Chains A and B, each alone.
Chain A
Amino acid sequence: MLRLLPYRDLAWELVLRDLRVRYRRSVIGLAWSLLQPLLMMLVLHVAFSAIFRFEVDNYPVYALAGILFWNFFSQSIVHSMNALKGNAGLIQRLPVPKAVFPVAAVLSGVVNFGLALIPLFAILVATGHRLEPALLFLPVAIAIAALFTLGAGLLLSPLAVFFSDTVELIGVLLQLAMFLTPIFYPMKIVPEPFLALVRFNPIRSILEVFRDPIYYGKIPPLSHLAVASGLAIALFALGAWVFARSSRRINFYL
């Protein structure tokens, strides 16, 4: 990871390039990526608001915060899994530290996450949600989410090089993980047999650190923060270790 430091300008350039491609140098691309979560929120609102009426007030804000987090998490993982294969030509001919590609993938996800907060704030205002000072805590929450996601990306991206079906497999696992994370439903409605699965799902922990300041208008309790940061650091350390260990072999499999 330390080998990356001299390459930080490169990482930023890759992020910019990625954003340019994502928004196809046009306003429509940008607008779509901001609108998509809102449409998703609208669908969930129509489908679930009535059902969760007694458990969740202001359901749109609850759901939108969850959707934005999940989009960042899942898209960054898929993105970083494709990052090594997508840059195979470079990796085979230049001594560039390979980790720069998944790192840039997650960083560009962070920029998108930041942009997506704009429509979120619009919804907060539109639904008459109180804007609490706790919102200023969001950058910390996003940093924790980013570290956690980067750990997952570093862990999975070498696997995607070694085995071509990894991306599909992870896609299925992500789908499963989404249902075990309280994104569009409240914890209260989870039936007993699944409760432990949802409660001990590490992704939930990271999500709630992000959603608490938005939905409840308060900074998450210190114990939650400690657990979430601990999980993020642990996953990052694991990912960095696995990446460094498999880094030598990646070139032979691209």
Chain B
Amino acid sequence: MPALRLDSVSLCYRLARQRPPSLKEYAIHWVKGSLTYEQLWAVRDLSLTVTKGESVGIVGRNGAGKSTLLKMVAGVLPPTRGRCAVRGSVAPILALGTGFDHELTGRENVYLNALLLGRRRREIDRSYDEIVDFAELGAFIDSPLRTYSSGMVARLGFAIATGWRPDLLILDEVMGVGDSAFTVKCEKRLEAYRAAGTTVLLVSHSAPAVENGCTRCVWIDQGRLVADGDPKEVLGAYLASLGSPAAAG
């Protein structure tokens, strides 16, 4: 049983502006038989099998469907078609700072955020010190989050989300947000988790991060899988398609 298995998954967004916003309008359109939706297929017929312990880098241009794919794997969006099966626990970091309440202190946010990730209060009590240590917030932990710099918020977010080793770690353009010392620390933690058997899905626009940190690379364009294989080769092909290697983005 693989760590992650996607069986020809597709995902379709119905664009909001085309949707009747009110019950009244819906009823009118329904009676007239004029309910139309503009559809946007963000992921199309994509299959992928990832075995335990692999680190998969996902590359592709903006709007290619990378974030949408990760959201399906994280269980935030259900696939419109196809099947998505994940084995074990998942820790998604789809955007740093998700679930923070900026009026609460760092300490209160550690609890709120970890609870949102499905932790029990007891577990958080046990890991609290380690999380705060990792985030290097020191005395700031008792100040409201609105007094933090964005780097500090990012550090705390990463520390909480990776406070417990998951079976599958999902990172959407979140590496390298803090200062370089913190980035090194994050990579160390990632390395330790990988060694312990964690599977990693990582979206990054940094070619070195994918080349050095991943065992495999997947290139997506317009919701479809273009290439899948050795990071060096896939990255090379992807960067070449962009015209010049410097224009990665």
Q: Is the CB of B26 within 8 A of A163?
A: yes
- Nearest to B111 among chain A residues (CB) is A13
- Nearest to A165 among chain B residues (CB) is B22
- Which of B20, B26, B112 has a CB less than 8 Å from the CB of A13? B112
Total number of B residues with any Cβ neighbor in A under 8 Å: 30
Interface string of B69-100 (1 = CB under 8 A from A): 00000111110000000000010101100110
- Within A1-29, the residues touching B (CB, 8 Å) are 6-7, 9-10, 13, 17
Least distance between A21 CB and chain B CB atoms (Å): 10
- Within A152-170, the residues touching B (CB, 8 Å) are 159, 163-166, 169
Using Cβ atoms and an 8 Å threshold, which residues of chain A touch B22?
163-165
Chain B CB within 8 A of A188 CB: no
Q: Is the CB of A93 within 8 A of B98?
A: yes
Chain A CB within 8 A of B23 CB: yes
- Extra contacts, 7 of them, besides A6-B118, A93-B99 (Cβ < 8 A), are A7-B115, A10-B118, A90-B98, A94-B116, A96-B116, A96-B117, A166-B23
Chain A CB within 8 A of B14 CB: yes
> What's the Cα separation between A96 and B119 when bound, in Å?
11
Chain B CB within 8 A of A54 CB: no
Interface string of A66-100 (1 = CB under 8 A from B): 00000000000000000000000111111110000
Size band of the A side of the interface?
Answer: 20 to 34
Least distance between A240 CB and chain B CB atoms (Å): 18
Q: Is the CB of A169 within 8 A of B112?
A: no
> With A93-B95, A253-B19 in contact, is A248–B78 under 8 Å at CB?
yes
Q: Is the CB of B23 within 8 A of A93?
A: no
Q: Is the CB of A163 within 8 A of B116?
A: no
Chain A CB within 8 A of B17 CB: no
- Nearest to B26 among chain A residues (CB) is A163
Interface string of A222-253 (1 = CB under 8 A from B): 00000000000000000000000000100111
Interface string of A115-145 (1 = CB under 8 A from B): 0000000000000000000000000000000
